[in-house]
Amino acid sequence: MPYAANELFDLSGKVALVTGGSRGLGLEMVRAFARAGADVVITSRKTDACEAAASEVRAMGRKALSFSAHVGQWDALPGLVDAAYDAFGRVDILVNNAGMSPLAPSAVETGEELFDKVIDVNFKGPFRLTALVGARMFEGDGGAILNISSTGAIRPQPRFIPYAGAKAALNALTIGFALEYKPKVRVNAIMAGPFLTDIAKAWPAEARERAHNILGRPGQPNEIVTAALYLVSPHASFTTGSVIEVSGGTL
């Protein structure tokens, strides 16, 4: 049956948990989910930033919980999940968005501490959180999980090989959990290209204006919103185990 466009992205009555939700792509998705009718759990390492994002959501007339947590710390994540369920009684949407992509001078100069941090935040945390939330979703009414990956997973470059490897693992995690929690929980990923988020302030001026992709430019943060809304919407009911590029066209 046909649907109006606003019905396709309607998230009324849904609860979304977004990691790294206080800035960048995470904040754009938080705003979009709230505008679509969802209540939101916002987590990042910075308490003040989480609360500022939560205040913005409340000003839209939606409920919001801010919770400071380091997603790379295995034992911190059960407390986050418990807080979300205590506050709202459910989580319908999980977005594993938090990430870090520090550059190293070279592979041989990459220290174990840096390597572990990159893997912890970009892969270990999403694995643990998907397991915790996905299991509850499966036992309940189901849900949608969205992982924010990177084109680095398929176009790795020197100086960020651990990051590229972690994002490739995140792509594999997407398919694995889609199989584990089928058919009640859909798990998908967005493989993001260069976006003009906060980290872009450290880029050279040329990189902020041009990019090595088909469109020849980096993306604006709000350009991830439509793909995210589609993948978490109940109307994407036949899409799972998918990794979708939002990259300006990988070359």
The rounded distance, in Å, linking the Cα atoms of 120 and 70 is 10
* DSSP bridge partners of 121: none
CA angle 78, 92, 30 (to 5 degrees): 90
The rounded distance, in Å, linking the Cα atoms of 144 and 94 is 7
CA angle 36, 80, 48 (to 5 degrees): 75
Amino acid at 186: R
In a 3-state reduction of DSSP, which class is residue 187?
strand
CA angle 210, 150, 82 (to 5 degrees): 135
Token pair 């430019």: residue: 217
> Residue 230: what pLDDT?
97
C-beta atoms surrounding 46 within 10 Å: 12
State the chain's maximal CA–CA distance in angstroms: 58
What is the pTM (predicted TM-score) of this model?
Answer: 0.96
Structure tokens at 49: 């930033």
> Residue 1: what pLDDT?
58
> Residue 169: what pLDDT?
98
- Average pLDDT per block of 10 residues along the chain, 251 residues long: 76 97 97 98 96 97 97 97 98 96 90 96 98 98 98 94 97 98 98 90 87 95 96 97 96 89
Catalytic residue among 3, 85, 163, 230: 163
- For the four alpha carbons of 170, 175, 180 and 181, in that order, the dihedral sign comes to positive
C-beta atoms surrounding 73 within 10 Å: 14
The rounded distance, in Å, linking the Cα atoms of 50 and 43 is 6
- Known catalytic residue at 3: no
Q: Which domains does the chain have, with CATH numbers?
A: 5-246 (3.40.50.720)
In this structure, what DSSP letter does residue 247 have? S
For 40, 55, 124, 137, 190, the CA distances from 95, given in Å and listed in that order, are 11, 19, 15, 14, 10
